[in-house]
Amino acid sequence: MKLRARIIKALMKKDFRMLAGNKNTFFILLLPILFCVLYTKVLPIGKETGMLYPLLLCEVLNLICAPISLLSMMVAEEKEKNTLRTLIMSDVRAMEFLASKMFVVLLLMEVISVANYLLVGLDMKFFAGYMLISTLASVGILFLGAAVGILSENQMSTGTISTPLMLLLMLPPMFAGMNKVLEKIAFCLPTNAFMEIMNGEYQNKAAFLSGANMKHYAVCLVWIVIGIAVFNIVYKKRGVDSQ
């Protein structure tokens, strides 16, 4: 299905206006930044760990909160309001409706990523690679977040479906060093791939595009394929406007 840029642009403007009036949106978006301020300004972790750890921690939070929690809430809210039925009468396709929301969330994520990086104060030589891998890691998660929104009957129910997925993506990478099982689970996650690539570059073990990191890029690509597949299955079975 061909997506029309003009329609998506108009829908994105509508989505930005909708988000501007939603307090939950600001909390979800500001959460990674608040933790970044906490770890770097209020309760600095310490020089021995460098500045990378707080950045990784806060960016993983960004990679999870925005694509899963925020995007699913946006889709569920529109379902509650039956907005799509009105938009379809104005020649808007369901996929354009979803694509606009995904683009909006991706743009907001990029803004948060930049803010986190500037707050931590890491050397700018890592910035381009940081943005590249964080964006790549987020794509598959965005599709899963959209699928969660489609599956949810309303905004309240999004938490029930999204929480296990958020925990899966967040906890194993953070505790991978505790045992082999968590390490193996973490290896299969895009959030861990982001952390490993950044760690390798920061510690001069492996450049962003080195062969040693290809396995981590492969993990991100596999998650993109999984995300698209899950999204398509859910979309075909449930649609956007099903109740």
Distance CA 151, CA 72 (A): 9
**Which phi and psi angles does 157 have, rounded to 5°?**
-80, -10
Which residue is listed with tokens 């690509």? 221
The predicted pLDDT at position 98 comes to 85
| pLDDT tens per residue, range 68-86 | 999 998 888 888 877 766 7
| pLDDT tens per residue, range 106-157 | 999 999 999 999 998 888 989 999 999 999 999 999 999 999 988 988 888 8
Which residue is listed with tokens 């890029």? 217
Candidates 68, 27, 28; CA nearest to 162 is: 68
The predicted pLDDT at position 240 comes to 64
> What residues contact 162, with CB distance under 8 A and at least 6 apart?
68, 69, 72, 145, 148
Q: What is the pTM of this model?
A: 0.88
Give residue 48's pLDDT band: very low, low, confident or very high (50, 70, 90): very low
Candidates 62, 170, 67, 48; CA nearest to 116 is: 62
Give residue 52's pLDDT band: very low, low, confident or very high (50, 70, 90): confident
- 3-class secondary-structure state, position 136: helix
| pLDDT tens per residue, range 158-210 | 888 899 999 999 999 988 888 899 999 999 999 999 999 998 888 877 677 77
The predicted pLDDT at position 201 comes to 85
Residue 236 CB neighbour total at 10 angstroms: 8
The predicted pLDDT at position 102 comes to 92
Q: How many domains does the chain have?
A: 1
Residue 1: pLDDT over 60 = no
**CA angle at 217 for the pair 214 and 221, rounded to the nearest 5°:** 130
> What residues contact 194, with CB distance under 8 A and at least 6 apart?
56, 59, 60, 63, 133, 134, 137, 216, 220
What residue type is assigned to position 93 of the chain?
A: R
Asked whether the beta carbons of 166 and 64 are under 8 A apart, the reply is yes
Domain of residue 69 covers 5-240
Residues making up the chain, counted from first to last: 243
What residue type is assigned to position 110 of the chain?
A: E
